Amino acid sequence: MSALARALSAAASCGVHALLASRGVFALCAACALCSALAGCAIVDHEQRRWIFMPTKSTWGPAVAAAQGMADVWVEHTSAHPGHEGEAVRLHGLWLPQADADAPVLLFLHGVRWDVRASAPRMRQLHALGFSVLGIDYRGFGRSTDVLPSETLAAEDARAAWDWLALTQPQARRFVFGHSLGGAIAVRLAHDVGDEAGLIVEGGFTSAIDVLRSTRWGWLPVEWLMTQHFDAGSRIAGVGSPVLVVHAADDSMIAPQLGRALYERALPPKRFVLVEGAVHENTGQVGQAQYRQALHELFGVRPACSLPADCATP
């Protein structure tokens, strides 16, 4: 594989990274790829995974306070993934239950870079809307098993967390939620399991290559070099439960038209919510009233009645 081919492959993964994190790093990633002259497809795959997920053991500082009071849980499973067969996996999660044991439960699948604590504010917003919430870290993030994540490893971890919820919360309706890159993982999980009560995707997209094509580097012929596809668009029609797709109107990381395209490929019943005045990071906060109405009308989910206003018709 030539140095140019290696650089284009790295550029492909950086294009996704750029949209998910910072558009400006694309050129830097491509330049580094040229200088590094990565050798071999295995290294190309490794670098794509590293650039797309950007896994860390740390969190986003302002979210730490929101994580306080949540229960630490551990999801353990044995990997059947090629190259990791038989390995013991330990996933760290945060659990935020409702007082009502029969409340619907939601598996929260986060996006790139930070550990699950960074998602605590979003988890609390969803808890306020009526869900018991489990958020997990994939392998490579936070306190979970230290293995570089990939699309298929994250899918295996999400399935393990789903099975944990089925075992520990058998009485409850279970929903899948994915934010950003986690949206593609959520679509894949809902497609595969078939026993979810609903799927919610916030700030999602149809595929990694479509994210790249939505940028000024979209003309690059790099699709054949990509190993991490996150092809939610081809899977969402296979989801058998109601689908809610939410997107920020001013999202500069994942273009709103990609969220809309994902929604268009889903089967009814479904709902698309465009949150005016919101960006990628604050969609749930700005659009809480829209969320509340959509959850009630599509899924029949309402906030716990701790206050009279909570039980009012949206």
Q: Is residue 293 part of a domain?
A: yes
18 within some domain: no
Residue 51: inside a domain, yes or no?
no
Going from the C-alpha of 206 to that of each of 83, 184, 237, 243, 261, the distances in angstroms are: 28, 8, 12, 14, 7
Q: Is the dihedral of CA 256, 257, 261, 264 positive or negative?
A: positive
What are the strands, taking DSSP E only, across 185-264? 198-202, 243-248
Q: Which residue has the tokens 């809307």?
A: 129
Per the structure, the count of domains in the chain is 1
pLDDT in tens, the chain (314 residues): 333 233 334 444 444 444 444 444 434 344 344 334 344 577 889 999 999 999 998 888 888 899 999 999 999 999 999 999 999 999 999 999 999 999 999 999 999 999 999 999 999 999 999 999 999 999 999 999 999 999 999 999 999 999 999 999 999 999 999 999 999 999 999 999 999 999 999 999 999 999 999 988 888 888 888 899 999 999 999 999 999 999 999 999 999 999 999 999 999 999 999 999 999 999 999 999 999 999 999 999 999 765 444 455 44
Q: Would you call 56 exposed, middle or buried from its count of C-beta atoms within 10 A (0-12, 13-18, 19+)?
A: middle
Rounded Cα gap, residues 225 and 9, in angstroms: 5
Q: What CA–CA distance (Å, rounded) separates 45 from 17?
A: 14
**In contact, 199 and 175? CB cutoff 8 Å:** yes
Q: Is residue 48 part of a domain?
A: no
Backbone angles phi, psi at 229, to 5 degrees: -95, -35
**Per-position b or e across 73-91, b if 16+ CB within 10 A of its CB:** bebebebebeebeeeebeb
Q: Is residue 192 part of a domain?
A: yes
Closest CA to 244 of 296, 306, 294: 294
Residue 24 DSSP label: T
pLDDT value of residue 6:
36
User: What pLDDT is recorded for position 224?
Assistant: 83
CATH code, domain with 99: 3.40.50.1820
Collapsed DSSP state (helix, strand, coil) of residue 11: helix
d(CA 73, CA 90): 10
pLDDT at 26: 39
Inside any domain, residue 126: yes
Take residue 242 and report the two structure tokens written for it.
Answer: 């109601």
Quick check: is 47 in a domain? no
Task: Report pLDDT for 40.
Answer: 56
How many Å apart are CA 297 and CA 314, to the nearest integer?
A: 9
For CA atoms 262, 266, 95, 125, the dihedral sign is: positive
Per-residue confidence (pLDDT) for residue 305, from 0 to 100: 64
Q: Which domain holds residue 99?
A: 61-208+230-311
Residue 29 lies in a domain: no
- Distance, in Å, from the CA atom of 26 to the CA atom of 31, rounded to the nearest integer, reads 9
